[in-house]
């Protein structure tokens, strides 16, 4: 048991969830390493949802609400970190959920599907189609999901697949704590925030935006500038480090 008053309670609980995920065969061991890189960036971002992330989260919800075939892609980390919130977001924006993993095995995909189903998520995982131009297992998709999607939300993406999704003319929304990653720079909308904060925040935003007109949603998207948001994120890190430096 992690004591509630531990200064790193949130972070420790998150790690426990991922370790449990590995034991269940849902999360890949490599997922733990990826999370570590994410945590390091979260640390130097001040471990909270910053203004640039909020801006991207709003644009992302607008894009999902405007989409014809929105799909939320889920891997072994996302499945154990925010299953309840993924279900809520999918319902709010009327999106499909699809399982898509880098470290592929039929058995693992089945375990993730069963895990998600215990949270009431009926995730696509037919693995009956291919995204041409990609050699990793991320190319294996569902013909009713990512293959025909126009907007794909990819929390914790790999740079290569992000590029291919773009080549297949899909609008890509990434959640990535590293504003320098290939994914972050390749996506149309990059949310530089922890998935454990970003997804619940997007559910909240989606509920608020429910009655927003299409014109208003389009305007939010038109005014959104991802390069600017990434610059703000890098500045956010610099400013945070400057503040810490002054306090030393
Ligand atoms: P790229 O291929 O895009 O250059 P990478 O190779 O550095 O990125 P991957 O290992 O492909 O990264 O994916 C892990 C990414 O996910 C990292 O950039 C990390 O910052 C991010 N990440 C990990 N855990 C979280 C989390 N909980 N919330 C948000 N981002 C996270
Ligand atoms: Mg990568």
Average pLDDT over residues 136-164: 93
Is 38 a pocket residue for ligand 1 (Cβ < 6 Å)? yes
Using the mean position of ligand 2's atoms as its centre, give its distance from the Cα of residue 183 in Å: 8
34 in contact with ligand 1, CB cutoff 6 A: yes
57: CA distance to ligand 2 center in Å?
A: 22
Q: For ligand 1, what atom is nearest to the CA of residue 156?
A: 16
Task: State yes or no: pLDDT of 27 exceeds 90.
Answer: yes
pLDDT at 138: 87
pLDDT tens digits, 52-84: 999 999 999 999 999 999 999 999 999 999 999
Pairing of β 189-191 and β 171-175: parallel
* pLDDT for res 226: 98
Residues 91-113 have a mean pLDDT of 95
Residue 136 has pLDDT above 90, yes or no: no
Asked if 154 and 73 touch (Cβ cutoff 8 Å), the reply is yes
Per-residue pLDDT, 81: 98
pLDDT at 159 over 90: no
Mutate to test the pocket of ligand 1, among 44, 81, 158, 187 (most ligand atoms within 8 A of CB): 158
Residue bearing tokens 């009713």: 144
- Which residue has the least CA distance to atom 14 on ligand 1? 34
177 ligand 1 Cβ < 6 A: yes
- State both tokens at 26: 């849902």
Residue spans per domain, the chain: 51-239
Residue nearest to atom 24 of ligand 1 (CA): 35
Q: Whose CA is nearest to atom 16 of ligand 1?
A: 156
3-class SS shares of the chain: helix, strand, coil, % to 5: 60, 10, 30
Counting from 1 in the atom list of ligand 1, the atom nearest the Cα of 30 is 10
What is the predicted pLDDT for the residue at 54? 98
pLDDT computed for residue 235 by the predictor: 98
Rounded-to-integer distance, Cα 46 and Cα 120, Å: 33
Whole-angstrom distance, CA of residue 112 vs CA of residue 118: 10
Give me the pLDDT at residue 48, please.
95
User: Span 51-239: which CATH code?
Assistant: 3.40.50.12640
- Average pLDDT of the chain, as a whole number: 96
Flag whether pLDDT at 200 surpasses 90: yes
Q: Which helix (H) or strand (E) holds 140?
A: strand 140-141
Q: Is 154 in the pocket of ligand 1 (CB under 6 A)?
A: no
Q: Report the percent of the chain where pLDDT is more than 70.
A: 100
What integer is the mean pLDDT of 171-183? 97
Q: Is the pLDDT of residue 231 over 90?
A: yes
pLDDT score, position 137: 85
**What average pLDDT does this structure show over 113-118?**
98
Is 173 a residue whose pLDDT tops 90? Answer: yes
Write the DSSP string, 176-231: -S-TTSHHHHHSSEEE-S-HHHHHHHHHHHHHHHTT--HHHHHHHHHH--HHHHHH
Residue of 205, 194, 208, 246 whose CA lies nearest to 48: 194
């Amino acid at each position: 048991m992690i004591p509630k008053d531990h200064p790193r309670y949130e972070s420790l609980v998150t790690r426990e969830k991922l370790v449990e995920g590995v034991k269940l065969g849902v999360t890949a061991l490599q997922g733990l390493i990826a999370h570590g890189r994410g945590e390091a960036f979260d640390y130097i971002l001040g471990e909270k949802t910053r203004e640039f992330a909020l801006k991207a989260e709003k644009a992302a919800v607008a894009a999902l609400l405007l989409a014809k075939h929105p799909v939320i892609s889920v891997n072994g980390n996302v499945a154990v970190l925010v299953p309840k919130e993924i279900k809520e977001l999918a319902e709010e924006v009327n999106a499909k959920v699809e399982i898509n993993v880098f470290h592929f095995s039929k058995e693992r995909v089945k375990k993730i599907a069963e895990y998600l189903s215990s949270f009431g998520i009926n995730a696509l995982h037919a693995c009956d189609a291919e995204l041409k131009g990609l050699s990793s297992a991320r190319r294996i998709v569902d013909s009713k999901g990512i293959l025909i999607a126009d907007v794909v939300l990819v929390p914790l993406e790999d740079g290569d697949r992000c590029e291919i999704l773009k080549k297949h003319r899909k609008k890509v929304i990434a959640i990535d704590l590293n504003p320098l990653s290939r994914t972050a720079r390749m996506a149309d909308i990059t949310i530089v925030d922890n998935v454990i904060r970003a997804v619940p925040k997007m559910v909240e935003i989606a509920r608020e935006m429910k009655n927003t007109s299409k014109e208003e949603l389009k305007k939010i998207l038109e005014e959104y500038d991802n390069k600017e948001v990434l610059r703000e994120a890098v500045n956010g890190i610099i400013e945070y480090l400057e503040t810490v430096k002054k306090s030393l």
